[in-house]
Amino acid sequence: MDAAVKQKIDTWLKGNYDDETKNEIKKLQDDNNEAELTDAFYRNLEFGTGGLRGVMGVGTNRMNKYTVGMATQGFANYLKKTYPDSEIKMAIAHDSRNNSRFFAETVANVFGANGIKAFLFEDLRPTPELSFTIRYMKLNGGVINTASHNPKEYNGYKAYWNDGGQLVPPHDKNVIDEVNAIKSVDDVKFTGGESNVTIIGKEMDDAYINMVKSLSVYPDVIAKQHDLKIVYTPIHGTGITLVPKVLAAFGFDNVTIVAEQEKPDGNFPTVVYPNPEESETMSIGLKKASDMNADILLGTDPDGDRVGIGIKNHKGQWVLMNGNQTAVLAISYMLEARKEKGIAQPNDMVIKTIVTTDMIDIIAEKNNVKCYNVLTGFKWIAELIKEKEGKENYVIGGEESFGMMVGDKLRDKDAVSAVAFLCEMAAYEKNEGTTLYDKLIDLYIEYGFYYEELISLTKKGMRGQEEIGEMMQAYRDNPPTHISNSPVLELLDYQTSQGKNLKSGETWQIDLPKSNVLQFKLEDGTKISARPSGTEPKIKFYFSVHTNLDSKDKFDETWQSLKQKIQDVISNMKLK
């Protein structure tokens, strides 16, 4: 075993750690489980720009009381340096995962012991409600313990600033520095400030529900279609606390909850991945929707910030929309509805991420609305809203990873309000005698048929991150000149903030913060993005192709053609 790993294990066995932790380490030693011990201690679980995320268990590379405590102590130290003469107030929430309540109480107690007022939700709540609470109560920030849609073994820690958005520069790097400065668990104040912890709950639920209700554009249409057949699954997560109440507040009274997935459960017993992006995860809901002949199926992930949607296609078959299709439908609906209602403003804007479909740019342009592209992650959407506040009016934003945010009363993706909003959209189309899928095809005819796919490559273990780094460096050092018989025209490197025309050699600056993302734009209009995950040992490849769609009867043929085009690209790049 590596000497540094042995030293860390020895520190934990001799240090100020509880007996349960020490006994777990000794059991791994007695079982000669060197691989598990090495993985648990070979590095410190990194506090990245999004916080922490990792497998739960003992060790420096695991989510546990001590890694959570050290992260919170570092965050507290930065807050106290930033607000030296002010009372600091933070909100704390958690999802349905195993240990999430314990971690949230640990966070609240560490803040409290540092003289910080901690407002801890009484029970599990969705991430968007935490973001809303920070803004509504005018707090300095917040923390939610969640690992989003990761498997059951994981948990995490997302840190927020006073605008309700996740940490962005300079705060993210500064907090990381403070967290890294905590060298020992003895530096953490775990107890002594319990009087600084206040429990919150229903009052924030009511305020949030009222805010979401105000987002409705066509309450009169909902009144006519109040019995829209809605099937909803919280996938054992936090959505159950608010989604049914929000749908009722909108005026929908025919909602069926998927009983098998209704109860919050950190073991996620009916799924492998509690992710509404996965067809397996949504399969129970799809069957229920089909059996009932429902109008729409919605699913939310464990912390209630991602939404999945199922609808009947043009053949009457139940299908799941991808995140790009959902964003296209929602953004076009909002822009058209605001025009129809006479509430569109000359300074309206929408925001999307650089890996989200460019069809949204076209829709915005043809509706005379500005569309901004930001780095991946809703924190960048939140940051741009803050930058444009008072000058431009944020209407709606979305990203391909099933995230949407309507209005600016919070600053993170919000699946709870998205569920209600998507149901309103389905009600509007039904009132017009059509469906959301028909609407999507109409949009393809009007704006161009954009088709996207995503693949993720996982590289596990100590070498995993290195392999991903080597793959990205190889693309930078030797960018392909052709991909699937089409010349590569442009290489956009967001790490160096430089774009380059590979034919002419012309270069230009990319006016976005640095991020480890590469994009290849091909002569035939294909766009390929490569992005290592910031929270998992994965590298994601995003593919986008497009063409014209002349009529509805050409839809299936064109869809197959675009799908095959992406498969050819993936094959040519040897990614499968």
Q: What is the CA radius of gyration of the chain?
A: 24
User: Cis peptide before 170, with omega less than 30 degrees from 0?
Assistant: yes
Rounded-to-integer distance, Cα 324 and Cα 7, Å = 48
Three-state DSSP class for residue 18: coil
Rounded-to-integer distance, Cα 154 and Cα 36, Å = 15
The reply to whether 148 belongs to the active site is yes
Note whether 373 and 355 are within 8 A (CB).
no
The count of other CB atoms within 10 Å of the CB of residue 387 is 10
Rounded-to-integer distance, Cα 532 and Cα 376, Å = 11
Chain length of the chain: 576
- From the list 509, 274, 512, the residue with the least C-alpha distance to 379 is 512
Of 100, 148, 401, 515, the active-site residue reads: 148
Note whether 273 and 149 are within 8 A (CB).
yes
Note whether 129 and 123 are within 8 A (CB).
no
Would you give the distance in Å from CA 553 to the centre of its chain? 35
- From the list 419, 471, 179, the residue with the least C-alpha distance to 309 is 419
Amino acid 33 reads N
- From the list 419, 413, 366, 426, the residue with the least C-alpha distance to 385 is 413
Give catalytic residues, as residue numbers.
Answer: 148
